[in-house]
């Protein structure tokens, strides 16, 4: 019987496992790196053990330290969560050799399925349909496009789509390096890339007595960088015949390796409806809550019970009910190549109401660091029908209050309401086709709503600076109202992200209350709340300020603004053509031959920066000459650090003129942009 469980993981999944442990009366042990010393999973655990260091390779990927932590804390079992060492057979064996219970599948099953290449050979022998692997060294143009994948892990790490044969070897090298950093194993393989395919998976649960449950299907087709963004159960639009083939193949895969515990068999379903085996994840999936919601199960509790040797409670799983949808909320900017964001999470509130579940590793006041994946939370909605579940989830996300770094919240809401998604027209190319439209600046109506929110921010700020006689916190002073008309007062705001600026003009009336020049009727204006009437419609705004940031929350959306000073500080100006670090990270490599004086082309990758377990390319903002280089492999940089300077090449000038005249640096583009116009 398990009495104390160490979770060899962090963040959201550790908190989720602890929740079940509390319900079952099992004490909990957390592990944490120095970067996670104040993290929520550490605060929620009964006991915590420090893993000295910051990098995953020094902490969460050190199996010897994790086993030692379990023994030191008196744990008698280890749950690996997902990611890190969750599919590492050597770690599972070390846990068992130490006399601890391994809450996962048998070591042999992990070994057989841990390598995607070996797993495919095994599935072929079991007559499970699959895509034939392609040897990258022997690939031809006829094999394109190809998908490179890490053999030892998932989560999108080490994955690349290759459409040009000339780029294949360098992409293999990059994928191998990323896989080695994420999983400690740089093996990668290639297979045909199926255009407009769907990612459909089957959750399996098996005990040690030979019973295997196939718990329906999940669709995980909406992905960015090969990482899932929105998942749902059951997968919509599949006919009964296809569902049966997927279920049978998943059960066959589990039985072929003598599986025990929770696992997932993943398939790619072509546009023609043909399923192909992708891989088996020998662990709990990030998206397991949608299956739990539909089947009314606690998969973590079942994992713990099967690890203790108990059988599944019945020969067949319970009947499913309703539909569930999950959205992964990330601290990232989708409009800027999914750039991860860091900083203080000042406020984080998701509506707590029927049908909504929140799995998270953060609370307001926590800090989003640079060392780990930027996922803040998973928000799950369960309802009787798909339409209701999708609507409920979109509305909950829309009403959430998230103050701090930029998130993908608006993209999630727009995706859930997109006609293709609501109609169930899903495939892995969804964001390739729709991202630009989903992250566009918006319609005139959206701009009007944002301006109205900026007006609320200005009025709340004015109310906060008003004399005490009018209800504001400031000191009373003579002359709050004057007999002669004067110019209106103004406040300027920049919308974040996006950069649209708004100038809000208002006047102070006899009662000391501010009134906007644009004619909205002010029903209430306090430092934290403003109520406006416009066009006969009353709207309420909650306004929160943190430094120069104003966060305006409404029942139909949230807005972030930066209050702008009246005058720009000359010291804040940046030299045109500067390439700035878009996030804290480590420079891992430079373009071949990159040195001051080198000629570069617009959009050419110059510098590779590693942050949050992903590589990010820093591109040349324009064609021209590299006039300064401040980056070198191994250099750790903070956000905004100057990495290099590119001076534009004059469009029509002789070589002599180029030598005598300064470069035209009028075009300056942020370093993170994928496409720029010189």
Alpha-helix runs per DSSP H in 257-283: none
What b/e sequence results for 32-56 when a residue is b if at least 16 CB atoms lie within 10 Å of its CB, and e otherwise? Answer: bbebbeebbbbebbebbbbbebbeb
Distances (CA, A) of 53 to 61, 583, 609, 663: 11, 21, 21, 45
Report yes or no on whether pTM surpasses 0.75. Answer: yes
pLDDT of residue 132: 78
The closest alpha carbon to 183, from 144, 149, 139, belongs to 149
Rounded Cα distance, 375 and 274, in Å? 32
pLDDT of residue 569: 54
481: pLDDT confidence band, cut at 50, 70 and 90?
A: low
Rounded Cα distance, 314 and 254, in Å? 18
**Can you tell me the mean pLDDT for 330-345?**
94
At 602-636, the pLDDT tens digits run 889 999 888 766 778 899 888 999 999 999 998 88
* 65 CB-near residues (< 8 Å, 6+ apart): 31, 51, 59
**Can you tell me the mean pLDDT for 399-412?**
97
Q: What are the φ and ψ backbone dihedral angles of 301, each rounded to 5 degrees? A: -60, -40
As a residue count, the chain comes to 678
Contact (Cβ atoms closer than 8 angstroms) between residue 198 and residue 243: no
**Can you tell me the mean pLDDT for 64-78?**
98
Res 480 pLDDT > 80 = no
pLDDT of residue 661: 37
Mean pLDDT, the chain, as a whole number? 88
The SS3 of residue 592 is: coil
What b/e sequence results for 421-446 when a residue is b if at least 16 CB atoms lie within 10 Å of its CB, and e otherwise? Answer: beeeebbbebbeebbeebbeeeeeee
Query: DSSP states of 337-373 as a string?
Result: TTEE--EE--EEE----TTEEEEES--TT-EE-SSS-
At 147-182, the pLDDT tens digits run 898 876 666 777 888 999 999 988 998 888 888 877
At 135-151, the pLDDT tens digits run 888 889 888 889 898 87
Q: What residue ranges define each of the domains in the chain, with the CATH number in brackets? A: 4-103 (3.40.50.20), 134-193 (3.30.1490.20), 196-438 (3.30.470.20), 444-475+488-564 (3.30.700.30), 574-660 (2.40.50.100)
467: pLDDT confidence band, cut at 50, 70 and 90?
A: low
Rounded Cα distance, 186 and 177, in Å? 6
Q: What are the φ and ψ backbone dihedral angles of 247, each rounded to 5 degrees? A: -60, -45
Neighbours of 393 (CB within 10 A): 26
Rounded Cα distance, 363 and 356, in Å? 17
The closest alpha carbon to 518, from 566, 458, 558, belongs to 458
CB-based burial label for 131 (10 Å; 0-12, 13-18, 19+):
middle
Rounded Cα distance, 161 and 146, in Å? 6
pLDDT of residue 659: 37
* 376 CB-near residues (< 8 Å, 6+ apart): 329, 330, 331, 345, 348, 360, 361, 362, 368, 402, 407
| Helices and strands in the chain: count of H runs, count of E runs | 16, 38
Rounded Cα distance, 613 and 158, in Å? 10
pLDDT of residue 676: 29
484: pLDDT confidence band, cut at 50, 70 and 90?
A: low
Rounded Cα distance, 557 and 98, in Å? 52
Distances (CA, A) of 513 to 459, 463, 465, 528: 9, 7, 11, 14
Strands 27-33 and 47-51, by their bridges, are: parallel
| Residue matched to tokens 């718990």 | 215
Contact (Cβ atoms closer than 8 angstroms) between residue 542 and residue 476: no
Contact (Cβ atoms closer than 8 angstroms) between residue 342 and residue 584: yes
At 503-542, the pLDDT tens digits run 999 988 777 778 899 889 999 999 999 999 999 999 999 9
Contact (Cβ atoms closer than 8 angstroms) between residue 26 and residue 18: no
pLDDT of residue 668: 34
Side-chain-side CA neighbours of residue 599 (13 Å): 3
192: pLDDT confidence band, cut at 50, 70 and 90?
A: confident
pLDDT of residue 150: 81
């Amino acid at each position: 019987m398990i009495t104390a469980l160490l979770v060899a993981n962090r963040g959201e999944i550790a908190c989720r496992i602890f929740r079940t442990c509390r319900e079952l009366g099992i004490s909990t042990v957390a592990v944490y790196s120095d970067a996670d010393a104040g993290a929520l999973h550490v605060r929620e655990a009964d006991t915590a053990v420090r893993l000295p260091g910051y990098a995953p390779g020094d902490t969460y990927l050190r199996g010897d330290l994790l086993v030692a932590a379990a023994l030191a804390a008196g744990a008698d079992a280890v749950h690996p969560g997902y990611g890190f060492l969750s599919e590492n057979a050597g770690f599972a064996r070390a846990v068992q050799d130490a006399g601890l219970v391994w809450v996962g599948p048998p070591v042999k099953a992990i070994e057989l399925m841990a390598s995607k290449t070996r797993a495919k050979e095994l599935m072929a022998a079991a007559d499970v349909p699959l895509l034939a692997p392609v040897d990258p060294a022997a690939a031809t143009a006829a094999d394109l496009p190809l998908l490179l994948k890490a053999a030892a892990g998932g989560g999108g790490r080490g994955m690349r789509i290759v459409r040009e044969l000339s780029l294949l070897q360098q992409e293999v090298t990059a994928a191998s390096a990323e896989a080695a950093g994420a999983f400690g194993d740089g093996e990668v393989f290639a297979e045909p890339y199926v255009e407009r395919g769907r990612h459909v998976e089957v959750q399996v649960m098996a005990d040690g007595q030979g019973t295997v449950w196939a718990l329906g299907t999940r669709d995980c087709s909406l992905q960015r960088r090969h990482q899932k963004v929105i998942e749902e159960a059951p997968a919509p639009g599949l006919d009964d015949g296809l569902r049966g083939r997927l279920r049978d193949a998943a059960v066959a895969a589990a039985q072929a390796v003598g599986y025990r515990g929770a696992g997932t068999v993943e398939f790619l379903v072509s546009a023609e409806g043909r399923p192909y085996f992708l891989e088996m994840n020998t662990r709990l999936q990030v998206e397991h809550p949608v299956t739990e919601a539909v089947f009314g199960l606690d998969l973590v509790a079942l994992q713990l019970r099967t690890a203790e040797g108990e059988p599944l409670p019945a020969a067949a799983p319970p009947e499913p009910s309703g539909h569930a949808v999950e959205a992964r909320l990330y601290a990232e900017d989708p409009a800027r190549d999914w750039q991860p964001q860091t900083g203080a999470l000042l406020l984080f509130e998701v509506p707590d109401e029927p049908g909504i579940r929140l799995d998270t590793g953060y609370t307001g006041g926590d800090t989003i660091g640079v060392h780990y994946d930027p996922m803040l939370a998973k928000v799950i909605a369960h309802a009787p029908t798909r339409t209701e579940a999708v609507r409920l989830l979109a509305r909950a996300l829309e009403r959430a209050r998230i103050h701090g770094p930029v998130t993908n919240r608006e993209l999630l809401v727009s995706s859930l309401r997109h006609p293709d998604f609501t109609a169930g027209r899903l495939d892995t190319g969804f964001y390739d086709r729709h991202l630009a439209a989903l992250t566009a600046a918006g319609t005139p109506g959206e701009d009007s709503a944002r301006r109205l929110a900026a007006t609320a921010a200005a009025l709340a700020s004015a109310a906060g600076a008003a004399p005490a006689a009018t209800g504001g916190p400031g000191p009373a002073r003579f002359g709050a109202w004057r007999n002669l008309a004067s110019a209106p007062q103004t406040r300027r705001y920049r919308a974040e992200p996006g950069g649209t600026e708004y100038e809000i003009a208002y006047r102070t009336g006899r009662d000391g209350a501010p009134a906007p020049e644009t004619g909205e009727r002010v029903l209430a204006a306090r430092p934290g709340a403003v109520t406006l009437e416009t066009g006969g419609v009353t709207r309420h705004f909650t306004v929160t300020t943190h430094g120069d940031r104003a966060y305006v929350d409404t029942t139909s959306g949230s807005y972030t603004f930066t209050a702008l000073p009246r005058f720009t500080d000359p010291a804040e100006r940046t030299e045109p053509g500067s390439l700035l670090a878009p996030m804290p990270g480590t420079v891992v490599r430079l373009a071949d031959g990159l040195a001051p004086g080198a000629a570069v082309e617009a959009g050419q990758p110059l510098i590779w920066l590693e942050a949050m377990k992903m590589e990010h390319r820093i591109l040349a903002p324009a064609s021209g000459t590299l006039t300064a280089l401040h980056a070198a492999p191994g250099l750790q940089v903070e956000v905004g650090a100057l990495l290099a300077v590119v001076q534009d090449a004059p469009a029509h000038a002789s070589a002599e003129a180029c030598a005598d005249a300064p470069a035209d640096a009028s075009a300056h583009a942020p370093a993170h942009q994928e496409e720029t116009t010189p």
